Structure 1
Amino acid sequence: MEDLWTLFCGESVKSDTSGKPSGSSLLFQPTSCINHALIICFDVLLLIVLLFTFMRISSASSKIYKITPRFRGYSSLQIVSVILNGGIGFVYLCLGIWILEEKLRKNQTALPLRSWLVVLFQGFTWLLVGLTISLRGKHLQRTPLRLLSILASLLAGIVCALSIYSAILGEGMLVKIALDVLSFPGAVLLLLCVYKVYKHEGNEERDLYAPLNGEANGVSKTDSVDQVTPFAKAGFFNKMSFWWLNPVMRKGKEKTLEDEDIPKLREAERAESCYMEFLEQLNKQKQAKSSQPSLLWTIVFCHWKDIVISGFFAMLKILTLSAGPLLLNAFILVAEGKAGFKYEGYVLVLTLFFSKNLESLSQRQWYFRSRLVGLKVRSLLTAAIYKKQQRLSNVGRLIHSGGEIMNYVTVDAYRIGEFPFWFHQTWTTSFQLCLSLAILFRAVGLATLAALVVIIITVLCNTPLAKLQHKFQSKLMVAQDARLKACNEALVNMKVLKLYAWETHFKNAIENLRNEEYKWLSAVQTRKAYNDPIRSIPDVIGVVIQAKVAFARIVKFLEAPELHNGNVRHKRNMGSVDHAVLIKSANFSWEENSSKPTLRNVSFGIRPSEKVAICGEVGSGKSTLLAAILGEVPHTQGTEYIMGALSRKTVLLVTHQVDFLPAFDSVMLMSDGEILQAAPYHQLLSSSQEFLDLVNAHIETAGSERHTEVDAPQRQGSSVREIKKSYVEGQIKTSQGDQLIKQEEKEVGDTGFKPYVQYLNQNKGYLYFSIAAFSHLLFVIGQITQNSWMAANVDDPHVSTLRLITVYLCIGVTSTLFLLCRSISMVVLGLQSSKSLFSQLLNSLFRAPMSFYDSTPLGRILSRVTSDLSIVDLDVPFALILTVGATTNAYSNLGVLAVVTWQVLFVSIPMVYLAIRLQAYYFASAKELMRINGTTKSLVSNHLAESVAGAMTIRAFEEEEPLCMVLLPPGTFNSGFIGMALSYGLSLNMSLVFSIQNQCTLANYIISVERLNQYMHIPSEAPEVIKDNRPPSNWPEKGKVDICDLQVLGKCQLREAVQAKEQGLDSL
C-alpha cells in the first residue's frame, strides 16, 4: 500500500505524515495528494453511476420515444451544454496529455502519477458524463439521471472552490484553475437539461394523449400565440442572448411603435396572475399557526425562485469580475519572462476573453431577471392597493386621502419595483469586498489591514447617515402626500375655483406645500452628493431606505380598517320578505366610539317597486341615510335588511327639488339625524308644519308661481317626457360634434437634445452642468495622473517610498474634492430645475381654460405631478451626471490604452462603432416604449382616481371585480505600465457597458421632462387683471348686468350655441 501511495504521490506515507501538515489539514490544501486522490475517487463514482444508469434503461420509455420522431432535435440549452462541457472535457484531456509529455521530456519518467492522472480522469469523466446527459438523457430513467447530475454538480462545486482557493494562495496551474471554475457553470447546464428540458419533453409527450377540446389541460386559449411576447416561447440561447427582443426592436426601427405593436405579457407576468399568486400565498400564511402574516415574506415566497436565479447570475458576475486581478498578475509574469509554459500568453488571452463574455452575459441576466421580479412586485402591489381602496372604511379614508392613495401607486410602488434590482447589491457588494481583500492579501500581505480599516470606517460613518436619510425620505414622502392631496382636490374642483376666482389662493397654497417638500428634497439630494465620492455602499443603502419607507407606507395602507357591513342582511329571495329595505331601531355613526350617533332611532320599511323621496334641510342626514342603506356607515345597534335582487325597481331619492315630490309614493322628512315623519306628499303637507315650511321656502327662493298641488300621475309623465327629450337632444349634439376626450398626445420619433435643453434651460442649468462636467473631467485627469505616477515610479530606486505614497495620496485627495464639487453642482442643478419646472407646470395648469379640463382626464394630469415629477426630482440629475461621467471614463480608458498599447485601437474602435450602432438601434424603440408607458400610466392613474372618487357607487352596484380587471391587465514598457494598461483594459469593457447603460437610462428618464413640458405650455385663458379694462373705483354704482350681442361658441361643436341680443338682467 505504501509503494502504491509513493507511486501515486511521489512520497511515502511516513514522510507525508511527518511533515508540517497531516491528516485533515491536507484537505484544505488544494494541490495536496489527498485531494487529488479524492477527486479521482469521485470521478470513478460518477462513472459507476453512469454505467448503472445505462443498465437500467427502461424499455417502456424506449418505446414511447421511438414513436416521437420530433424529439430527435435538440434544444438550444442542450447544444450550449454539449459545446461547453464537451470543450471542457476535451481541454482537460489535452492538458493531461501535455503534462504527461512534459514530465517524460524533462524527468524521463511519468512518476508521480497524480499531476497528470487527475487531469486525465477529470477530462474523461466530464466528457462522458456531459455528452451523455446533454444528448442521451431523454433515453435514461429520471431518478438515476437526476442523481448523476447532482453528483456531477457537487464534484464541480468542490473542484471550483478548491481552485479558487488555490488561485488566492498563488498555487496551481492557471489553465487548470480556469477549467475547474468553468466546470461549475457546465454542471449547472446539466442540471437545467435534466430538470427543465426533459421534464418539458415529458409534458409534451403527455399532451399527445390530451382530449382534442383541450379542457383536460386547463390552458386558456384566449390569447393568440402571435399576440404573446416571444419571451414566452424563447429557448435557452434565445433568452440568454435576448434575441427574443428583436421583433419589437426591428419594428421600432422601421416605424413608430403604437400600443397594438406591443405584445402581451406572459401569463405569469400579468397583474392578475401576480395578484392571485400573492393572495394564495397570503392565505397559506394566515392558515399557519404563526401570528400576523408578513407581507414582505409573502412577496418573497411568491418570487423566491426568480430571486435565487438572479442571485446565481449576480454571484457568477462577481466571480468572473474577480478573475481580472488574478489574470492581471499572470500577464505581468508573462511580460517579465516568467511564463509557466510556452503558450501561456495565448491561453491567458483566451481565458480573459471567455471570462469577460461570461461576465457580460451574467450581468445582463442579473439585471433583466431582477427587473422582471420588480415588475411583478409592482403589479401585485398596484392591484392590492386598488382592491384595498374599494374596501376602505371611512376612518381609513380620513387617514389615507385620494392623493395619498395615488402616491402609493405611482411613486411608492415604483420605488419598490426598482428595489429587486438593488437587492443582490446588498450581499454582492460585501462578497466582492471579501474577494478583493483576499486577492489584495495575496499581493501585499498584512498591508491589506489598511484597506480593511478604511472599509470599516466607511461602513461606520454610513450608519448615522443612513438614519438621517431614512428620516429625510420619510419626511419627503409625507410632504409629497400633502402636496399631491392639495393638487388632487384643486384639479377635481377646478370649475368651482374658476367660478369664484380662487385659483391664485389655491395655487399659492400648493406652492407653499411644494416649498415644504423642496426643503426635504434638498436634504435627501445633498445627502446623496456627499455619498458620491464613496459610491457603491451608500447607493445601496439609499435605495434600501427608499424601498423601506415606501413599503412601510403601503403596508400601513393595506392594514387600514375596512368596511364591516356584515350586520347588513342581504336577501336574495323576493318572496321571503315583504320589504325591499327594512331598518329597525338602528343607530348609525361615521366615527367609531362616538358618543352621539350621526343617525339615531332610524326605523322604516320600503316595499318593492316603491319610490321614496328623502328631504330635509342641509345637514339633516339625508346622504348619510343613503350611505347607511348601502352599508357604508357602520351601525351601532338595530337590524338592517337589504334586498339584493330587485326585479321591480325600488327608488330612494335625496332631493331638494320640491317640484318632484308629488311623483313619489312616500316622502321621508329628516332633521338633525332623525326621521321626523314618513307619509305621502299630500298627507305630509297637511300634517307636518316643518315640511310645509320647507316647501314654502323653496317656492319663495325659486320665484315660482306654479301651484304646489299638482296631480301626481300628470307630473310624473311630464318629468319622463322632459328626460327623454333632453337625452335625445344630447345624443344629437354628441353625434354632430367631435369627440370630447381625445387620445393622449405624445412625442414621436427622436427628439434629439430638445428635452435635455428644456431641462438645462431652467435657472442657470447650463452653468451648474458645465461646472459639474468640468469637475468630473479634472477628476478623470487626476486619476490618470495618479496611476501614471505610480506606474512610472514604482520600480524607480531614486524615488523613496514616502515620496511615492505622499504624491499619490495628494493627487487622490485633490481628485476627490473635484468629485465632491461635481456632485454638489448636480444637486443644485436638480433642485433648481425641479423647482422651476413645477412652478411653470402649476401656473400653466391654473391658467388653463375649462375646455382643457373638460377634454383631459384627471389621470393624465395626476400622472405628471406624481410619477413624472418624482423622476425629475430624484432620478434625472444624477442620471445626467452619471451618463457624462461614465462616457468620459470610457473614452479616457480608451485613450490611456491607445497611448500605452496602441494596437488595442484595432479592436476598440470597431467595438465602439458597433456599440454606437446598437445603441441607436435600441433608442428607436426604447423612446417609444417609454412614451407608451407614460400614456398607459395616465390611464391607470385616471382609472384609480375615478375609482377612489366613486368607490361608494362601485360598491353599491357590486362591480368591484370587473373594475379591478380593467386595471389588471513582452514589450517596450516596464511591468508597472503593463499593469496599468491591463487594469485599464480590464475596466474598458465595464466602462463601455456603464456608459451605454447610463445613456439609455437617462434617455428613459428624460421622457418625464418631455411629458411635463407638454402641459407647461397650455393655451392660457385671459389674464386675471387687464389694466386697460379696470372698472372705476366706485364700481358698481347699481346692481344691473347688461349682456349685449353675446356669442358663445362650444369648442367641440364649433358652432354657435347661445346667442342673446340686448337682454337685460335686473338684480332682485
Structure 2
Amino acid sequence: MEDLWVVFCGESGNLDIVEKLSSSSLVFQPTSCVNHALIICFNVLLLAMLLLTCIQKSSSPSKKDNIQPRFRGYSRLRIVSAIFNGCIGFVYLCLGIWILEEQLRKNQTALPLKSWLVVLFQGFTWLLVGLTISLRGKHLQRTPLRLLSILAFLFAGIVCAFSIYSVILGKAILVKIALDVLSFPGSILLLVCVYKVYKHEGSCESDLYAPLNGEANGASRTDSVVRVTLFAEAGFFNKMSFWWLNPMMKMGKAKTLEDEDIPKLRVEDRAESCYFEFLEQLNKHKQAESSQPSLLWIIIFCHWKEILISGLFALLKILTLSAGPLLLNAFILVAEGKAGFKYEGYVLALTLFFSKNLESVAQRQWYFRSRLIGLKVKSLLTAAIYKKQLRLSNLGRLTHSSGEVMNYVTVDAYRIGEFPFWFHQTWTTSLQLCISLVILYRAMGLATFAALVVIIITVLCNAPLAKLQHKFQSKLMVAQDERLKACNEALVNMKVLKLYAWETHFKNAIENLREVEYKWLSAVQMRKAYNSFLFWSSPVLVSAVTFGACYFMKIPLHANNVFTFVATLRLVQDPIRSIPDVIGVVIQAKVAFARIVKFLEAPELQSRNVQQRRNTGSEYIMGALSGKTVLLVTHQVDFLPAFDSVLLMSDGEILQAAPYRKLLSSSQEFLDLVNAHKETAGSERLPEANALQRQGSSAREIKKSYEEKQLKTSQGDQLIKQEEKEIGDTGFKPYIEYLNQNKGYLYFSLAAFGHLLFVTGQISQNSWMAANVDDPHVSTLRLIVIYLSIGVISMLFLLCRSIFTVVLGLQSSKSLFSQLLVSLFRAPMSFYDSTPLGRILSRVASDLSIVDLDVPFSLIFAVGATTNAYSNLGVLAVVTWQVLFVSIPMVYLAIRLQRYYFASAKELMRINGTTKSLVANHLAESVAGALTIRAFEGEERFFAKNLHLIDINASPFFHSFAANEWLIQRLETFCAAILASAALCVVLLPPGTFSSGFIGMALSYGLSLNMSFVMSIQNQCMVANYIISVERLNQYMHIPSEAPEVVEDNRPPSDWPAVGKVDICDLQVSFSF
C-alpha cells in the first residue's frame, strides 16, 4: 500500500498516511494528494454509474421510435450541452497530456502520477458522461439516467467548491480552476437536458401513442419486427462488442444461410428512409439558396452525425495507438533495471493490454460505422438514379444509354459507397504522422526533420501520379460505358444476331472495345503499382535518412531511442502504405460521383406538359371524335368483345357485321376462328375479355379459378428459375480458377516471393540494428551503411512485387473476359429465354469491374499482410520464446474462429451477389419499359419495388461487413493477450537477461502485431468477398454451347463445286388448299 501511495504522490508519500487523511484541510486543497485521490474515486463512481446506465435497455423503443418524426434532429439544448461539456472534457485531456509531457521533459519519468492522472481521468470521464447524456439520453432508461445526471451535478458542485476554496487560499492552478468552475454550469445543462427531454417525450407518448388491440392484450410482437436485425435494439456494450451478431454466426455454422435467414435493416438504414431524407435536405437547400445546391454537401448533411461519431472513434484509435512507443520506451528502461517504482513493469503490461483492447474497440466501431454510411449513400444514390431514369426526357435518353445507366448503379454507386470507409483515412493518417513526428523528436531530436523532408518529398512525387491516375480513371470509365453499351445491345437482341448469324461480327466489335478499355485499365493499374511501391518503400527511406542525420549531427544511437523510432515507424507504416489505396478510392469516387451528378442533372420530361397533352388528347377523342366511327384492324380475338360491332372480312369482302355474341352464334366461320384461337393461345384470356361484359363473379368462383391456375403453374416446369450460387466452403477453387488464366501461377508466385524477400530484408535490417546498436566495436557509420544497403536491396524486391501484381491482374482479366464473351455468344437461345438480362449484365459490369481493379492487388496484399503478421509473431517468439505458451493456443483459436466466420461470411457475400442481380435486372427492365411505365402511371409502384430490392441487397452486405468487424475484434483480443504476455515475460525475467536492443526489437514488432493481424484478416476478408465475383463469372463461362458454326468433318472439299450443275432426285411436293 505504501509503495502505491509513493507511486501516486511521490516521495512525500513516505509520511504517515493516517496523518494525511486525518487532516481535513488537505481534502479541500486541489493540490493535495488526498484531494486528487478523492476526485479519482468520484470519477470511478461516475464511470461505474455510466456503465450501469448503458447496460440497461432503452425503455419501450418501439413506442418512442414510432412517435418521433422520421428525420428529427437533436434539440438546441442537447447540442449546446454536448458542445459545452465535450469542450470541457477535451480541454481537460489536453491539459493532462501537457502536464505529463512537461513532467517527462523535466524529470524523465511519469512519476508521481497525481499531477497529470487526475486531470486525464477527469477529462475522460466528463467527455464520456457529457456526450452520453446529451446525445444518447433518449436511448437510455429514465431512472438510471436521472441518477447519473444528479451524481454528475453533485460531483461538479464538490469539485467547484474545492476550486473556489483554493482560490481563496491563493494556491491555484488557473486553467484547472477555470475548468472545475465551468464544469458546474455544464452539469446544470446535463440535468436540465435529461428532465426536459423526458418531459417532452412523456407528453408525446401520452398524446400520440395508442396501443393496438393485440399489444394491449399482451400479444407477442409481429413477425415483421422479429425479422429486423438485432442491431436495431442492441445496447451500448452489445454494439461495441458486436454481440448482437452471434445468433446469425451460430446459424451460419449450423446450416447454409438462405435469403430468408437474413433479417431486415433498421428503418433508418433502409433505402426509403435514406432517399426521402436526401429529398428533404435537397428541398431545404433549394429554398435557402438561389443557385443549384451541391449534391455532395447534401449527402454530407444527411449523415453528418454518423460521420462525426465515426470520426471520434477514429481519433480515439489514433490516440491509443500513439501510446505504444511511449510504453515501449518505458519497458526498455525497466529491462535495463531503471524502473521508476517496484511494480512498474506489471502496471505497464496491464496498461498495454487495456490500451490495445481500447484501440481495437475504437477502430472496429470506426470501420463499421463508416461502412454503414457507405451502404446508406449507395442505397440513396441507387434509388435516385432509378427515379431519375423514369423521368428522363427523350434528349436525356439519347445522352445516357441503358448500358450507361446500368453502369451508374452497378459500378459508380458501388465505388461511391466504398469511399466513406476510406474517408477518415485522409485526415487520421496526417494526424498520426504528426503525433509520430512528436514522438520521433523526443527520441531523435533534430534528426526528425530529415524524416519530415523525406515524407514531404514522397507526397510531392505522388502529386503528378495522382493527376495521371484521375485522368486514366476517367478514360477507363468512358471505355467501360462503351463496352457495356455494346454488350447490352448484343444481349438484348441476341435472337436477331443468331437468326442472321451476326454473332462473330458483334463479338469482334465488343472485343475491340474491350481492347480500348484494357489499354486504360493497364495505365490505371500501373500508376497504382507505382504509388504502392512509393509508399511501401518510404519507411525504409525515412529510417535510413534519419539515422544518417543522427550520424552527421552527432546524435548518439541507443536501443531505447532507436527502437522507439522503429516502433513508431512500424505503427505508422501501415497507414502510409494504405495511402495509394486511399488515393485510388478518392479518385474513383470523384469520377463516379461526377458521372452520377451529370446524370441526375439531365433534362427531365415535364409532368405539366405531359398532363396538358394528355388532357388535349382526351378532349379531342371525347369531343371532336365523339361522333366519328373508329375502326380497329386486328387479329387479336381477345379484344373483340369490347367493341360495339365486329366486321368479318374474307377475300376482300365484308361477310357479316354484328356484335360479338350475335356474330359468334350466327357465323360458322367466325366460330371456327374463335375456336382455333382457343386451341393455340389458350382460353384463359378470352373469358377475361368476356368479363368486361359480365356483371361479376362470386368469390367462390374467383378463388376456385385462382387455385386452378396456381396448381397448373406449380405442376409445370418454371422457365425462369432462381439464380444459382455456390454453396458451402469451396476452398481454393475460385482462387485456382483465377490463377489458371494466362500464366497466373507464375506471376502470383513471383509477386509473393518478392514480398517474402522484402519482409526478410526488413527483419534483417532490424536484427542488424538490434545486435550492434550498443556494440562499441561497430562504428555508427558502418551500422548505418549496412542498414541502408539491406533496405535498398529489399526495395528492389518490392518493385518486382508491384509489377508482377499488375501483370497478373491484366492477364487474368483479359483471359476471363474472353472466355465469358465466347461462352455468352455460343450459348443457345434457351439460355437467354430462361435467364433475366440483369443477371448477365451484373456479371459483365460490376463483377468484371471488381475482377479488373480489386482482385489482383487484394490477393497479393492478403498474402503480404499475412506474411507480415506471422513474421511479427515469429520475431516476438524468437526473442521471448516463453510467449509461445500463449501464442500457439491463441493462433489455434484464431484459425478456428476464422473458419467459424467464413461459414457465414461466404454465404452472405453470395446472397449479396444474387440479390445484386435482382436490382440490376429490375433496372434493365424498367429502362427498357420506361415509356410503358409512364403511360400507365406505374412510376410509384415500380419505384417501391426498386426500394424493396435495394433493401434486400443491402441487408446481406450490412451483415457481411459487420461479421468482418466481429471477427477482427476477437482476433485483436488474442493479439493483445500475446503482446501483454511477451511484455510480462520481459518483466518477470531478471534485468539483463535480454539485451535492450533485442527487447526493443521484439516489442516494436509486438506493438504492430495488432495492426498487422488486422490488416491480414481484413485483406483476407476483402479478397474472400472479391473472389465471389470470379465464382459468378465462372458460372457463365461454362454454359452448354450450341452446335459449332463449322463442323470440320462435314466440310466439302476446297474445290467444291467443280461443276455448276444441280441434280434434283426424287423430289416430292404437295400443296394443300
User: Structure 1, residues 929-964: CA drift from partner, whole Å, max 9, x if none?
Assistant: 111111101111110000000000000000001111
CA apart distance, 1:248: 1.1
How far has the Cα of 1:661 moved from its partner?
13
Q: Is the 8 A contact 2:3 2:342 kept in 1?
A: no
Question: Is 1:212 matched with 2:210?
Answer: yes
Provide the C-alpha distance between the structure 2 equivalents of 1:968 and 1:461, rounded to a whole number of angstroms.
Answer: 45
Deviation string, structure 1 residues 6-61 (Cα, Å, up to 9, x no partner): xxxxxxxxxxxxxxxxxxxxxxxxxxxxxxxxxxxxxxxxxxxxxxxxxxxxxxxx
**Change in CA separation of 1:278 and 1:1010 when aligned onto 2, cut-off 3 Å:** same
CA contact (8 A) 1:783 1:812 kept: yes
2-structure distance, mates of 1:734, 1:1039: 52
Structure 2 CA distance for aligned equivalents of residues 705 and 772 of structure 1: 78
Equivalent runs, 1:867-946 vs 2, <5 Å: 867-946=846-925
Identity over aligned pairs, percent: 69
Q: Which residue of 2 aligns with 1:284?
A: 284
In structure 2, C-alpha distance between the alignment counterparts of 1:227 and 1:837, rounded to whole Å: 39
CA, structure 1 residues 1039+738, in 2 after alignment: closer, same or farther (shift >3 Å)? farther
Provide the C-alpha distance between the structure 1 equivalents of 2:279 and 2:1069, rounded to a whole number of angstroms. Answer: 65
1:443 is displaced (CA, Å) by 1.1
Deviation digits for residues 872-909 of structure 1 (CA, Å, limit 9, x no counterpart): 11111111111111111111111111111112212222
- Taking structure 1 as the reference length, what is the TM-score of the superposition? 0.74
Say yes or no: does 1:1020 pair with 2:953.
no
* CA–CA separation in structure 2 for the residues paired with 1:406 and 1:222: 37
- Structure 2 counterparts to residues 659-1058 of structure 1, below 5 A: 706-707=651-652, 709=654, 711=656, 713=658, 718=670, 724-728=678-682, 737-969=716-948, 970-1030=991-1051, 1033-1034=1056-1057
Q: Amino acid of the residue matched to residue 755 of structure 1?
A: P
In 2: Cα distance, 1:543 partner to 1:993 partner: 20
Aligned pair in 2 of structure 1 residues 935, 340: CA closer, same or farther (>3 Å)? Answer: same
Q: Distance in 1 between matches of 2:82 and 2:402?
A: 55
1:122-271 matched pairs, under 5 angstroms? 122-127=39-44, 129-130=46-47, 153-168=86-101, 170-171=104-105, 173=110, 181=120, 184-195=123-134, 198-200=137-139, 201=141, 207=205, 211-213=209-211, 224-271=224-271
Aligned to 2:315: 315
Which consecutive unaligned segments of at least 5 residues does structure 1 have?
Answer: 1-90, 585-603, 614-652, 668-679, 683-703, 1045-1061
AA partner of residue 164 (structure 1)? I
- Change beyond 3 A, Cα 1:153–1:562: closer
Whether 1:558 aligns to 2:600 is yes
Moved more, 722-731 or 359-368: 722-731
CA deviations over 1:955-977 (Å, ceiling 9, x no partner): 00000011111111224222211
Confirm or deny: 8 A CA contact 2:311 2:424 kept in the other structure. Answer: yes
Taking structure 2 as the reference length, the TM-score comes to 0.74
Q: Separation in 1 of the partners of 2:278 and 2:678?
A: 48
Q: 2:14 aligns with which of 101, 105, 127?
A: 105
C-alpha distance in structure 2 between counterparts of 1:148 and 1:468, whole Å:
47
Cα distance between partner residues in 2 of 1:915 and 1:1041: 80
Greater C-alpha Rg: 1
Whether the 8 Å contact between 1:334 and 1:345 is mirrored in structure 2 is: yes
Q: CA deviation at 1:996?
A: 1.6
Matched AA of 1:1018: I
| Aligned residue among 533, 556, 580 for 2:618 | 580
The Cα shift of 1:247 comes to: 1.2
Question: RMSD between aligned alpha carbons?
Answer: 3.9
3-state SS in 2 of match to 1:337: coil
- Tell me the amino acid that sits aligned with residue 240 of structure 1: M
Aligned mates of 1:1041, 1:500 — CA distance in 2:
27
* CA deviation after TM superposition for structure 1 residue 456, in Å: 0.8
Considering Cα pairs closer than 8 Å and 6+ residues apart, tell me whether 1 or 2 has the greater RCO: 2
Shift of 1:723: 5.1
Closer/same/farther in 2, CA of residues 128 and 96 from structure 1, 3 Å limit: farther
Post-superposition offset of 1:167: 4.8
> What is the one-letter code of the residue matched to 1:344?
E
Q: Which residue pairs with 2:167 in the alignment?
A: none
| 2:620 aligned counterpart, secondary structure | strand
Corresponding residue SS for 2:1045:
coil
Residue deviations 1:92-114 (CA, integer Å, cap 9, x gap):
x9966754474142899989983
Deviation at 1:786, TM superposition (A): 0.5
CA contact (8 A) 2:85 2:127 kept: no
For 1:392 and 1:922, the matched residues in 2 are separated by: 45
> How has the CA–CA distance of structure 1 residues 395 and 146 changed in structure 2, closer, same or farther, with 3 Å as cutoff?
closer
More helix as a share of residues: 2
Please point out which of 562, 578, 581 is paired with 1:536: 578
| 2:682 counterpart SS class | helix
Q: Is the 8 A contact 1:495 1:850 kept in 2?
A: yes
1:116 maps to amino acid? C
CA distance in 2, matches of 1:145, 1:280: 23
Deviation at 1:921, TM superposition (A): 1.0
Contact 1:666 1:681 in 2 (8 A): no
Distance 1:572 1:435, change over 3 A: same
Aligned 8 A contact 1:402 1:485 in 2: yes
Q: Any idea what the Cα deviations from partners look like across 1:44-97, whole Å, max 9, x if unmatched?
A: xxxxxxxxxxxxxxxxxxxxxxxxxxxxxxxxxxxxxxxxxxxxxxx9x99667
In 1, the alpha carbon distance for the partners of 2:10 and 2:715 equals 94
Measured in 2, the distance between the counterparts of 1:1036 and 1:582 equals: 68
User: Structure 1, residues 250-301: CA drift from partner, whole Å, max 9, x if none?
Assistant: 1110001101100011101111111111111111011113411110011000
Q: Gaps spanning 5+ residues in structure 2: where?
A: 21-25, 57-74, 143-197, 536-576, 665-669, 686-708, 949-990
Q: How many angstroms apart in 1 are the aligned matches of 2:1070 and 2:1031?
A: 49
User: How much does 1:488 deviate?
Assistant: 0.4
Q: Which residue of the partner structure matches residue 571 of structure 2?
A: none
What is the rounded CA distance, in whole Å, between the counterparts of 1:872 and 1:136 in structure 2? 48
Question: 1:318·1:428 contact (CA, 8 Å) conserved in 2?
Answer: yes
SS in 1 for 2:251: helix
User: Does the 8 A contact of 2:773 with 2:783 survive in 1?
Assistant: yes
Distance 1:789 1:832 in 2: 40
SS at match of 1:782: helix
Alignment CA distance shift 1:1010-1:735 (3 Å): closer
SS of 1:567's equivalent in the other structure is helix
Q: Does 1:395 align with 2:404?
A: no
Q: Answer whether contact 1:378 1:414 (CA < 8 A) is retained.
A: yes
Q: CA deviation at 1:124?
A: 4.2
Contact persistence 1:1042–1:1065 (CA under 8 A) = no
Question: What are the superposed Cα offsets for residues 1023-1042 of structure 1, whole Å, 9 maximum, x if unpaired?
Answer: 00112223574499899999
- Distance in structure 2 (CA, Å) of the matches to 1:580 and 1:269: 43
Task: Give the superposition deviation at 1:495.
Answer: 0.3
Which protein has the bigger strand share?
Answer: 1
Shift of the alpha carbon at 1:396? 0.9
SS state at 2:504 partner = helix
Contact 1:580–1:606 (8 Å) recurs in 2? no
Query: Which letter does structure 2 place at the counterpart of 1:539?
Result: D
Post-superposition offset of 1:734: 6.6
Query: Taking structure 1 as reference, are residues 1016 and 143 closer, same or farther at Cα in structure 2, changes over 3 Å only?
Result: closer
Give, in whole Å, the separation in 2 of the partners of 1:396 and 1:481: 16
Q: Is the 8 A contact 1:834 1:873 kept in 2?
A: yes
Counterpart-to-counterpart distance in 1, 2:744 and 2:118: 53
Q: How many Å separate the matches in 1 of 2:327 and 2:637?
A: 92
d(CA) in 2 for partners of 1:258, 1:341? 59
What is the aligned partner in structure 1 of residue 444 from structure 2? 444
Q: CA deviation at 1:582?
A: 2.4
Corresponding residue of 1:116: 33
Tell me the residue number matched to 1:475. 475
Residue 211 and residue 428 in structure 1: after superposition, are their counterparts in 2 closer, same or farther (change >3 A)?
closer
Aligned match of 1:587: none
